Amino acid sequence: MNGDAALDALRDRLLALFRLQRPALAEALADQALARWRAIAPAPTDPSAVADTLQVIARELLDAAPSEAPAVVVDDDEPAFDPTTRKALRACFAKLGTEAAKLILGYYEFGSDGGGPTASARLRRRQQLAARLGLTPDELRDRALAIRAELEACVRARGAGAAI
């Protein structure tokens, strides 16, 4: 097995572990674990030593990862959400986890900087969010799209038909 295939296999194992513990954060946690491992051991040596080190890193990340979502304000007067969708959205945000909820809320936030929801204001805010989270804009977009898909699937599964 070559080095790339071995790393892919390790990443798959990390994803499986993280999906059991923190499904909404699985991708981010797997990336963080591999980045930490690369920082301390850039050249792979003994596969069992790599797996042991990654297991320790994964446990530390899981211990530090938040388990509850922040309170999400869904405006009860918002005409776009019927009561079923509103209830489903609240439940799905609670299921997401704190970091994923913060990321998606920050990604779609229009802010109060006077810029409004213009393309340039959204771009600037998203670049700032990516920098705060230590991500590239592409990584931020990919994670936001994955979280949004998860939210939409959750809302649909709860019987609410409206897209969010």
pLDDT in tens, 57-87: 888 877 776 654 444 444 545 555 567 777 8
What is the number of alpha carbons within 13 Å of residue 93 lying toward its C-beta? 17
**What is the span of the domain harbouring residue 90?**
83-157
Give the C-alpha separation, 99 to 67, whole Å.
9
Asked if residue 143 and residue 94 are part of one domain, the reply reads yes
pLDDT in tens, 78-120: 555 567 777 888 888 888 888 888 888 888 876 544 445 577 7
Q: What is the pTM of this model?
A: 0.49
Asked if residue 146 and residue 87 are part of one domain, the reply reads yes
Asked if residue 102 and residue 43 are part of one domain, the reply reads no
**Residue 17, token pair as written in the block:** 């572990």
- Domain count across the chain: 2
Asked if residue 94 and residue 49 are part of one domain, the reply reads no
Query: DSSP letter string over 78-134?
Result: -TTS-HHHHHHHHHHHHHH-HHHHHHHHHHH---SSS-TT-HHHHHHHHHHHHHHHT
